[in-house]
Amino acid sequence: MFELSPELLALTALAGLAAGLLDSIVGGGGLILTPAMLNLHPGLAILQTIGTQRTSSIFGTSVAAWNYLRKVPVEKKVVVPACVGALVASAAGVQFAKRLDPEFLKWTVLSLCVVLAIYTAFRKDFGQTESRRFPLEKEALAATAVGAACGFYNGLIGPGTGTLMVFAFVSVLGLDFLKSSGVSKAANVAADLSSWTVLALGGFVIWVLAVPLIIGNMVGSYIGSHLALRQGQRFVRYVFLGVVGALIAKLAWDLLRS
């Protein structure tokens, strides 16, 4: 049984708002929401926590994607292939996750995040301007590959998917940070839908908690995406570095404890 006082539901919605605010800029909302849910609702099993918060993430990230894509022009030939690749590969990632050593995965992701942080910190112009790297006829294929790689990671590991997507679309396709954020949000929704469907069908979504999370996450995502659009590329870059640093700290702490 869960204690569902008005105060606790309000704190749940507030956690969803904070996660949506961060996630809508460069991803990383799970860094806030997962520990918040585990502390607010210690009776939840880990799969219930993931399924419930992923429900809110789908709604909140959809709001952010809509906000970005109606104000930052990104071609459908980039967005649609990225979403398709993420949707298919995320389901495959879930299956591989059952067979691989989680400690090895954490070390792999930690190493990757350190490289991301160093590269972005020293490349001051990274993501500040658009510099497309593929001819038009090959860009859809490149977007599919990036979406699939990040979607596979989403199903395999999960935390930090949105942040890695932003980096990938900037570094591989040559989008600027704002366009990359828009495409990443759309592809992240597609990837989340795959894993969420499995969890929902398994009964791991606690809807009485999902509803306040959805409301908070949608509000936070709306505010965060507007903030990113108003503040511009430099602001997004700084937030990106902050989130990558937090992700490195979390993974390092998990590995040290184990």
pLDDT in tens, the chain (258 residues): 556 788 899 999 999 999 899 888 877 787 778 788 888 888 888 778 888 988 999 999 999 999 888 888 888 889 999 999 999 998 888 777 667 665 666 677 667 667 767 766 666 665 567 777 788 778 999 999 999 999 888 877 776 788 888 888 988 898 888 888 889 999 989 988 887 887 888 888 999 999 999 999 999 999 989 988 888 777 877 787 787 777 778 777 777 776
Q: Is 167 left (phi over 0), alpha (psi -120 to 50) or beta?
A: alpha
CB-count exposure of residue 108 (10 Å: 0-12, 13-18, 19+): middle
Contact 246, 23 (CB under 8 A): no
* Claim: this prediction has a pTM higher than 0.85: no
User: In the prediction, which pLDDT does 222 show?
Assistant: 94
What HEC string does 107-157 produce? HHHHHHHHHHHHHHHHCCCCCCCCCCCCCHHHHHHHHHHHHHHHHHHHHHC
What is the reported pLDDT for 223? 93
Q: How many domains does the chain have?
A: 1
| CA-based end-to-end distance of the chain | 30
Q: What is the rounded distance in angstroms from the CA atom of residue 217 to the CA atom of residue 232?
A: 22
> Is 106 within the bounds of a domain?
yes
According to the model, what pLDDT value does residue 143 have?
Answer: 94
Whether 133 is in a domain gets the answer: yes
Question: DSSP per residue over 48-75, as a string?
Answer: HHHHHHHHHHHHHHHHHHHHHHHHS---
Q: Is residue 15 part of a domain?
A: yes
For the beta carbon of residue 218, count every other beta carbon within 10 angstroms: 21
* CB of 170 closer than 8 Å to CB of 236: no
In a domain, 201, yes or no: yes
Residue type, 11: L
Whether 54 is in a domain gets the answer: yes
Does residue 1 lie within any of the structural domains? Answer: no
pLDDT of res. 192 = 86
- Is 142 part of a structural domain of the chain? yes
Structure tokens at 235: 């602001």
Residue 78's domain spans which residues?
6-257
158 domain-assigned:
yes
